[in-house]
């Protein structure tokens, strides 16, 4: 049977290319054998559900356990009605167990009891009846909140001492967050702030992204099945762009083999990977589009905003830092610092933040193009200055990150420029004090560096010129833009203070300095 790269829902081994769940989670079988309860948390669409379903099937097929993956998500609609939530969850479990387990391993009966005890009662009853130790993976645990969440956690904790004869031998809570970040709307907090309702867990760990070798192995499955080769350069680039994020790894390959080139005789090159990447960024499929919701959360904004502007992180709870890491928006760099998780996210995040502003710029005519459709850098500069003076300040209020509003408005303008067939590349890092942007349009490559002039800080020009020199050197360019956003208090309106000048960099390059 033909197989496909999967980007929607759990993988099925008969129709999808996929990696071994046990190889990605080598510790779990030992935890289960030791009768442990544990937490598995990871961002959406990294393969948690696929891994747990597959692992449950392997454990059951071994003849040693009765293992099943069950979801709690249907209970989310009843966060303040515990009884209704339990009935909805048990109804979902009955259907799932019917399809996922042979009849002789299913519960002989389902018991009713008072609200607040139904989950524990039925797990206990099933474990007592089962001819094998019972192992249960509870998916979407963090979809629950308030009293329903607390009750489910306490019912599991209450049954824990009776394992394995009177309660599941092992239970895993599976979701996007660790226990302390489960939602609990009380006491002025939007998270649990303590793991005490589930203090029986022995471990809390995450499902990692694919390694380069994982990506190579996944793509090799397609080559073995069809003969279509991924060149080593294509595999390396796909890993670099995605940093092994499983949905992105699959989405790039799927876009290429199903849409860009269906002919298996055509090898998949780095150019095709880049083409697929641009399509994904432009289209913003469900996975990428869902970033927008997260970016507006205060706990995310406090970290993403300084990263985009190159500023230092302010004091914040360690929980907030762990939260963005758990969501998969950020990752640790080689020195332990924080960075946006992968190059594709680095492109998507500013675009998402600028989306409202971008929508308001459709009336701006592309006067920066000549009659042949080529980009004229001087015309682009003139158009930007005119735009900045007329529209810059009024558009600041359209951005969700006010402290970097100028950055977002400028990027919205540049997206309007490249919409006709160019690309934008961005580089930024915490503590660098800048954002670098590379605009490519046809044969023209334009590099610029963005700096902020804040109160009680010196003019960024002296620092910015050598920084831009280094960036231009890496791109083999002789000139570029240094854009200085003057955010000091008590200034004239933007329309009156926007100026341009030419400065000579330490390396002797002519730099266009834009102040506004």
Q: Which of 288, 315, 336 is where one domain is finished?
A: 288
Is 406 found in the same domain as 276? no
Of residues 19 and 318, more confidently modeled: 19
Percent of the chain whose pLDDT exceeds 70: 95
* Helices and strands counted in the chain (H then E): 21, 13
309 located within any domain: no
CA atoms within 13 A on the CB side of 131: 8
305 located within any domain: no
313 located within any domain: no
The average confidence (pLDDT) of the chain is 89
Nearest residue to 441 (alpha-carbon basis) of 417, 461, 464: 417
Please give the backbone phi and psi of residue 69, each rounded to the nearest 5 degrees, phi first.
-100, 125
User: 443: which DSSP letter?
Assistant: T
Residue 286 has what pLDDT?
A: 61
Maximum separation of any 2 CA atoms in the chain, in Å? 82
What are the angstrom distances between the C-alpha of 77 and each of 119, 146, 290, 292? 17, 11, 20, 23
Confidence category of residue 64, pLDDT binned at 50, 70, 90: very high
Confidence category of residue 349, pLDDT binned at 50, 70, 90: confident
Report the CATH number that the domain containing residue 116 is assigned in CATH.
3.40.50.300
Confidence category of residue 420, pLDDT binned at 50, 70, 90: low
301 located within any domain: no
Residue 204 has what pLDDT?
A: 82
DSSP letters spanning 185-247:
-BTTBSS----GGGTTEEEEEEPPPPPHHHHHHHHHHHHHHH-PPBPHHHHHHHHHHHTT-HH
Confidence category of residue 378, pLDDT binned at 50, 70, 90: very high
Say whether pLDDT at 398 is over 90: no
pLDDT digits (tens, 9 = 90+) for 159-199: 999 999 999 999 999 988 777 667 654 333 555 555 556 77
pLDDT digits (tens, 9 = 90+) for 212-257: 999 999 999 999 999 999 999 999 999 999 999 999 999 999 999 9
Confidence category of residue 514, pLDDT binned at 50, 70, 90: very high
Q: What is the pTM of this model?
A: 0.83
Q: How many CB atoms lie within 10 A of CB 384?
A: 22
Q: State how far the Cα of 367 lies from the Cα of 358, in Å rounded to an integer.
A: 17
User: 515: which DSSP letter?
Assistant: E
Residue 185 has what pLDDT?
A: 43
Is 361 found in the same domain as 408? yes
As given in the structure block, the two tokens for residue 436 are 């670098």
Of residues 360 and 248, more confidently modeled: 248
Angle, in degrees to the nearest 10, between helices 146-159 and 118-129:
30
pLDDT digits (tens, 9 = 90+) for 257-313: 999 999 999 999 999 999 999 899 888 776 666 676 788 888 888 898 888 888 787
Please give the backbone phi and psi of residue 474, each rounded to the nearest 5 degrees, phi first.
-65, -25
As given in the structure block, the two tokens for residue 38 are 């544990």
Structural domains counted in the chain: 3
Q: State how far the Cα of 331 lies from the Cα of 325, in Å rounded to an integer.
A: 6
Is 284 found in the same domain as 147? no
Is 158 found in the same domain as 25? yes
Say whether pLDDT at 322 is over 90: no
Rounded to an integer, the average pLDDT of 68-87 is 94
Report the SS3 class of residue 143: helix
**CB contact at 8 A, 167 and 124:** yes
Is 101 found in the same domain as 226? no
Is 389 found in the same domain as 266? no
Is 244 found in the same domain as 191? no
Q: For the stretch 6-39, what's the b/e string if a residue is b when 16 or more beta carbons lie within 10 angstroms of its beta carbon? A: bbeebbeeeebbbbebeebbeebbebbeeebbbb
Is 489 found in the same domain as 434? yes
Q: Which of 265, 288, 311 is where one domain is finished?
A: 288
297 located within any domain: no
Is 235 found in the same domain as 170? no
79 located within any domain: yes
Domain with 459 in it: 353-515
As given in the structure block, the two tokens for residue 329 are 């928006």
pLDDT digits (tens, 9 = 90+) for 443-500: 999 999 999 998 888 999 999 999 999 999 999 999 999 999 998 998 888 989 999 9
324 located within any domain: no
DSSP letters spanning 452-506:
EE-TTS--THHHHHHHHHHHHHHHT-SEEEEEEEE--TTPPPHHHH-EEEEEE-T
As given in the structure block, the two tokens for residue 471 are 């960036």
Report the CATH number that the domain containing residue 254 is assigned in CATH.
1.10.8.60
Residue 193 has what pLDDT?
A: 53
Point out which residues pair with 511 in neighbouring strands.
480, 503
Q: Which of 182, 206, 230 is where one domain is finished?
A: 206
Is 392 found in the same domain as 469? yes
Say whether pLDDT at 1 is over 90: no
Q: State how far the Cα of 141 lies from the Cα of 73, in Å rounded to an integer.
A: 7
Total length of the chain: 516
304 located within any domain: no
Which contacts qualify for 417-420: CB closer than 8 Å, 24 or more apart? 417/366, 417/368, 417/375, 417/380, 417/441, 420/366, 420/369, 420/373
Kindly state the helix (H) or strand (E) to which residue 411 belongs, with its residue range: helix 405-418
Q: State how far the Cα of 329 lies from the Cα of 312, in Å rounded to an integer.
A: 18
Of residues 79 and 233, more confidently modeled: 233
Residue 197 has what pLDDT?
A: 64
Is 194 found in the same domain as 246? no
Strand ordering across the sheet containing 435-441: 423-428, 435-441, 444-453, 479-486, 510-515, 499-504
Is 84 found in the same domain as 70? yes
The terminus-to-terminus CA distance of the chain in angstroms comes to: 61
**CB contact at 8 A, 433 and 454:** no
Point out which residues pair with 515 in neighbouring strands.
484, 499
């Amino acid at each position: 049977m033909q197989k496909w790269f999967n980007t929607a829902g759990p993988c099925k081994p008969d129709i999808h290319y996929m990696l071994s769940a046990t190889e990605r989670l080598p510790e779990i079988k030992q935890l289960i054998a030791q009768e442990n309860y544990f937490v598995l948390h990871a961002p959406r669409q990294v393969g948690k559900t696929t891994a747990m379903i597959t692992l449950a099937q392997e454990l059951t097929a071994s003849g040693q356990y009765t293992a099943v993956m069950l979801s709690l998500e249907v209970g989310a609609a009843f966060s303040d009605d515990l009884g209704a939530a339990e009935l909805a969850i048990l109804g979902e479990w009955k259907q799932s167990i019917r399809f996922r387990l042979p009849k002789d391993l299913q519960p002989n009966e389902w018991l009713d009891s008072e609200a607040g005890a139904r989950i524990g009662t039925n797990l206990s009853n099933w474990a007592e009846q089962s001819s094998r130790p019972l192992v249960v993976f509870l998916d979407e645990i963090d979809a629950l909140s308030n009293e329903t969440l607390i009750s489910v956690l306490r019912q599991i904790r209450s049954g824990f001492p009776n394992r394995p004869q009177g309660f599941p031998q092992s239970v895993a809570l599976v979701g996007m967050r660790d226990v302390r970040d489960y939602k609990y709307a009380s006491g002025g907090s939007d998270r649990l702030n303590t793991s005490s309702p589930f203090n029986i867990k022995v471990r809390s760990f995450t499902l990692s992204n694919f390694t380069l070798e994982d990506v190579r192995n996944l793509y090799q499955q397609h080559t073995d099945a069809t003969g279509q080769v991924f060149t080593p350069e294509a595999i390396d680039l796909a890993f670099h762009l995605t940093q092994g994020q499983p949905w992105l790894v699959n989405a790039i390959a799927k876009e290429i083999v199903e849409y860009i080139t269906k002919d298996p005789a055509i090898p998949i090159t780095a150019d095709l990977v880049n083409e697929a990447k641009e399509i994904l960024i432009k289209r913003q499929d469900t996975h990428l589009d869902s970033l927008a919701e997260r970016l507006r959360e205060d706990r995310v904004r406090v970290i993403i905003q300084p990263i985009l502007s190159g500023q230092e992180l302010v004091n914040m709870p360690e929980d907030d830092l762990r939260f963005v890491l758990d969501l998969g928006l950020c990752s640790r760099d080689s020195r332990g610092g924080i960075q946006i998780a992968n190059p594709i996210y680095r492109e998507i995040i500013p675009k998402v933040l600028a989306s409202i502003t971008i929508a308001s710029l459709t009336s701006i005519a592309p006067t920066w193009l000549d009659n042949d459709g080529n980009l004229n850098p001087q015309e682009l500069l003139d158009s930007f200055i005119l735009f900045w003076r007329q529209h810059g300040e009024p558009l600041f209020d359209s951005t969700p990150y006010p402290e970097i509003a100028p950055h977002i408005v400028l990027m919205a303008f540049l997206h309007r420029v490249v919409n006709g067939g160019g690309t934008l590349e961005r580089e930024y890092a915490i503590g660098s004090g800048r954002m670098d942007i590379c605009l490519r349009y046809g044969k023209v490559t334009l590099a610029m560096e963005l700096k902020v002039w804040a109160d009680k800080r010196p003019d960024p020009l002296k620092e910015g010129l050598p920084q831009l020199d280094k960036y231009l050197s890496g791109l083999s360019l002789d000139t570029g833009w240094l854009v200085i956003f003057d955010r000091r208090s008590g200034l004239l309106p933007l329309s009156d203070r926007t100026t341009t000048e030419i400065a000579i960099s330490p390396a002797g390059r002519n730099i266009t300095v834009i102040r506004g």
